[in-house]
Chains A and B, each alone.
Chain A
Amino acid sequence: MVSARDEILGRIRAVDRPAPSPVSRDYERTRHAGDPVELLAERITDYQATVYRTAARELPYRIAERLDGRGRIVVPPDVPREWCVPEVPWLADAPPLTVAELDSADGVLSGCAIAIAETGTIVLDAGRGQGRRALTLVPDHHLCIVHADQIVVSVPEAIERLDPTAPLTFISGPSATSDIELDRVEGVHGPRTLEVLLVT
């Protein structure tokens, strides 16, 4: 008996297929933005997320300001030591937290791989300071640190910089839905609050 695989490939090969045409790529690969940091902040804010700007040396102070009194905060095991300010009760993902533990936490702190200014998007690649995907998903509050040198302007620039084999999550604002009368409302299954600390 012919396998489904062979039959499907056979059906495709039996078709008198269209001549392959060259892929047209005359769209803009890079885009100019006067101030990419400002653009990113503006676009993230459009999604009802909150953006705070800070100088690098003030970062620990800002983290404490955002998270103090918020409860227990999940943190990937490899975040920079200075992020873990003493005011916050941290829940390090080492050993890995259970789903129930993540669900009972009050928030999560993470870094990111890159951010796309034009679309107000933060991309996580499970790399340094980000942890596995569940960490930034289950807790209801996500504080994300973005450094100015992680910002690209356009989507093509972002795709070029990302590692396709890593599990990637593109985040553009808090979870939302357009399912009720095709209008966007924030706050469904993912973190309902997204805060971004932009380090310049």
Chain B
Amino acid sequence: MGRNPVTWLGSPTFPDAARDALGDTQLRGNLRKATTTIRGKRESAVAELGDWEELRRAGESVKDDVLANLDTYLERLEAAVTDRGGVVHWARDAEEANRIVLDLVQAEDTDEVVKVKSMATAEIGLNEALADGGVNAIETDLAEVIVQLGDDRPSHILVPAIHRNRAEIKEIFAQMPEPPTSDDPHALAEAARKYLRRKFLSAKVAISGANFGVADTGSIVVVESEGNGRMCLTLPETLITVMGVEKVLPRWQDLEVFLQLLPRSSTAERMNPYTSTWSGVTPGDGPQKFHLVLLDNGRTSTLADEVGRQALRCIRCSACLNVCPVYERTGGQAYGSVYPGPIGAILAPQLAGDLHDEQAASLPYASSLCGACYEVCPVRINIPEVLTHLRAEVVEAKGKRTPEAMAMSAAAWVFGDRRRYEAAQKAGSLTRFLARDGTLSSLPWPGSKWTDTRDAPVVPKESFRAWWRRNRG
């Protein structure tokens, strides 16, 4: 089994990547504008529903039911899709999924496919694998077009080009045969429409992801905005859908929960412009060949982690990214994965499955644990809980000999006994001699990480407990 491409090979650790990103004022401006806009809108979209908390609980419990009975529901989905004329494939990892898709495309005797935006196919690096096999994969979602034409990487789950503003997008679109006439969003959308129209009308094969797959009915659901999804799901003769195994839903009825939770959480709309559902093949309507690829790629090992498995409830709405103070400042690329932000910080390292990898191991620390993500998560993933849980796994993977582990051990030893703690307090109050004018503005490493930008408090001569003893003891 090869390396899991969910984290990008050669990415720097989060603190290093963040340092570069923080220096990019354009990026920070773009992100601040976009996330501030969407935050306010999400709040009003959610406030419209008096039963939002009940819907969140329902979403959580349906997904927990899925995780508890994943094998049953997958077999049921497979049977339903097969009954309705679809073909179901199973892929253990990225490499296997890519091979299956490439073979299916080549069997249709074409070297070009159109794609609906899909996190699963981005996660497995499908486009690169298809290119290696001589197949050109054309992204059709506007943001994906921006990323693909800009030879860039995605920085957001919902809006992969969120780091680009309209002026930058116009620049990138200049290479289109009919470039946009201005940087007005309508003009940019028009340019994308013209650019892709012929591709849609002539493509023989389309590739999509899936937001949900309903076990009972074999219905696959794709939630989108632009209509590029409908084009891909309707016009080509062959449709290949790659779906993470955790995207299965037990019952048709469950959609009534998720079709309320998802649009309001992601684009802050009452409903997204288009949602398509289909079950297998419908004679005379849409693709006459349908393949469903069920993807594991680290999901079953994530399922095995009692605390970490709640990350598999994720419906990829991006609400946690939009409220995250860290994400807002560093952008998504700093996370080195198609899954950035708070959910990425818990999902990417778990899917990658190797906490000895420095980059993956740095992700669970990319958070101040402020909890804003948990508050907005439509399926109530307790992201801070998983972050601290994964930090413990990182610590275990790194062993007891790191400077940090030794310092933590020493601190624990001090806190383990009142007398040791009091002795340390007295020693600490010696820092007063370092302070000039009552401020402490430079400490040796690692304290310098603090005093580079902030003064440190001067430890007073008398601790509270010493005062208490003197006055109350």
Total interface residues on A, using CB and 8 Å? 76
Contacts of A46 in B (CB 8 A): 270
| Neighbouring A residues of B141 by C-beta, 8 Å | 179
Closest to B53 in A: A27
Query: Is the CB of B382 closer than 8 A to any CB of chain A?
Result: no
Cβ-closest chain A residue relative to B62? A23
Give complex CA distance A160, B167 in Å: 45
**What's the Cα separation between A173 and B263 when bound, in Å?**
14
**Per-position 1/0 for B129-148, Cβ under 8 A of A:** 00000000000111100100
* Contact A155-B256, Cβ < 8 Å, known A165-B217, A176-B273, A183-B185: yes
**Which chain B residue lies CB-closest to A116?**
B271
How far is it, in angstroms, between the C-alpha of A137 and the C-alpha of B228 when the chains are bound?
A: 10
A181 to B233, CA, bound (A): 26
The answer to the question of A55 belonging to the interface, with a C-beta cut-off of 8 Å to chain B, is: no
Closest to A190 in B: B227
Instruction: Provide the residues of chain A in CB contact with B70, threshold 8 Å.
Output: 12, 17
Complex contact B58–A23 (CB within 8 A): yes
B170-191: which have CB < 8 Å to A?
Answer: 185-186, 188-190
Of all chain A residues, the one with the shortest Cβ separation from B140 is A189
A15 in contact with B65 given A179-B161, A188-B142 (CB within 8 Å): no
Q: Is the CB of A187 within 8 A of B190?
A: yes
Q: CA–CA, A120 to B34, complex, Å?
A: 25
- Please tell me if the beta carbons of B228 and A179 are within 8 angstroms of each other in the complex: no
A104 to chain B minimum Cβ distance, whole angstroms, is 11
Is there an interface contact between A133 and B234, defined as CB atoms closer than 8 Å?
A: yes
Is there a chain A Cβ closer than 8 Å to B448's Cβ?
no
A134 x B234 contact (CB < 8 A): yes
Q: Does A175 contact B (CB under 8 A)?
A: yes
Which of A23, A118, A134 neighbours the largest number of chain B CB atoms within 10 Å of its CB?
A: A23
A residues near B273, Cβ cutoff 8 Å: 47, 171-176, 190
Kindly count the residue-residue contacts between A and B in the assembled complex, taking CB atoms under 8 Å apart: 260
Interface centre among A47, A134, A178 (most CB of B within 10 A): A178
- Does B58 contact A24, Cβ atoms closer than 8 Å? yes
CA distance A95 to B173 in the complex (A): 39
Contact B193 A189 (CB under 8 A): yes
Beyond A188-B142, A190-B227, whether A167 also contacts B301 by CB under 8 A is: no
Q: How far is the CA of A26 from the CA of B219 in the complex (A)?
A: 25
- Docked complex Cα distance between A6 and B77 (Å): 15
Asked if A164 and B276 sit within 8 Å, CB to CB, the answer is no
- Please name the residue on chain A nearest to B255 by beta carbon: A159
> A15 — which chain B residues lie within 8 A by C-beta?
300, 303-304
Contacts of B233 in A (CB 8 A): 133
| Bound: A12/B294 CA distance, A | 13
Contact residue among B61, B65, B190, B300 (Cβ-Cβ distance under 8 Å from A12): B300
Assembled-state Cα–Cα distance A187/B263 (Å)? 19
User: Is the C-beta of B296 less than 8 angstroms from some C-beta in chain A?
Assistant: yes
Knowing A118-B270, A171-B274, the reply to whether A13 touches B71 (Cβ < 8 A) is yes
Give A17 to B273 CA distance when docked, in angstroms: 37
User: Is A169 a contact partner of B252 (Cβ separation < 8 A)?
Assistant: no
Cβ contact within 8 Å between A176 and B303? no
By a CB distance below 8 angstroms, the chain A residues around B192 are: 188-189
List B residues 1-52 near A (Cβ within 8 Å).
30, 33-35, 37-38, 50-51
Q: Is the CB of B271 within 8 A of A3?
A: no
B333 adjacent to chain A (CB < 8 Å): no
A169's partner among B75, B143, B275 (CB-CB below 8 A) is B275
- Of B64, B143, B271, B285, the residue contacting A120 (CB under 8 A) is B271
The answer, yes or no, to whether B459 is at the interface (CB within 8 Å) is no
- A62-89 to B contact mask, C-beta < 8 Å, 1/0: 0000000000000000000000000000
Asked if B252 and A164 make an inter-chain contact with CB atoms under 8 angstroms apart, the answer reads yes
Task: Decide if B406 is an interface residue (CB 8 Å cutoff).
Answer: no
In the complex, whether A33 has a CB less than 8 A from a CB of chain B is no
B50 touches A172 (CB 8 A): no
- Produce 1/0 per residue, B67-102, CB < 8 A to A: 111110011000000001000011110001000000
Q: A137-B234, A170-B275 are in contact. Are A8 and B296 (CB under 8 A)?
A: yes
Contacts of B303 in A (CB 8 A): 11-12, 15, 17
| A159:B259 contact, CB within 8 angstroms | yes
B68 touches A133 (CB 8 A): no
Q: Are A181 and B34 in contact (CB under 8 A)?
A: yes
Assembled-state Cα–Cα distance A145/B219 (Å): 26
**Distance (whole angstroms) from the CB of B293 to the closest CB of chain A:** 10
* B358 sits at the interface (CB 8 A): no
B92 touches which of A8, A155, A174 (Cβ 8 Å): A8
Known A21-B64, A25-B58, A182-B38; contact A167-B90, beta-carbon cutoff 8 A: no
CA distance A166 to B218 in the complex (A): 11
Report the Cα distance A96→B284, complex, angstroms: 9
Name the distance in Å between B76's Cβ and chain A's nearest Cβ.
Answer: 12
- Whether A4 contacts B33 in the complex (CB less than 8 A), given A9-B71, A168-B277, comes out as no
Q: Does B206 contact A (CB under 8 A)?
A: no
Selected from A22, A100, A172, A190, the residue in CB contact (under 8 A) with B201 is A100
Whole-angstrom distance between the Cβ of B206 and the nearest chain A Cβ: 13
Q: Which residue of the partner chain A has the closest CB to B184?
A: A185
Are B90 and A28 neighbours in the complex by a CB distance under 8 Å?
no
Q: How far, in whole Å, are A155 and B294 apart by their CA atoms in the complex?
A: 28
CB atoms of B226 and A24 under 8 A apart? no
Q: Is A43 an interface residue (CB 8 A)?
A: yes
Q: Which residues of A contact B306 (CB under 8 A)?
A: 16, 18
Contact with B along A97-133 (1 / 0, CB 8 A): 0011001000000000000101111000010000011
Give 6 closest A-B pairs by Cβ, nearest first.
A190-B227, A189-B227, A188-B226, A11-B300, A164-B217, A175-B227
Give 21 CB contacts A-B under 8 Å: A8-B245, A11-B303, A15-B303, A18-B64, A20-B65, A24-B54, A24-B61, A26-B54, A46-B270, A133-B233, A134-B285, A138-B201, A160-B256, A169-B274, A179-B142, A179-B161, A182-B267, A185-B186, A187-B190, A188-B228, A189-B140
4 new A-B pairs (CB below 8 Å) besides A18-B309, A185-B186?
Answer: A132-B286, A133-B286, A138-B201, A189-B200
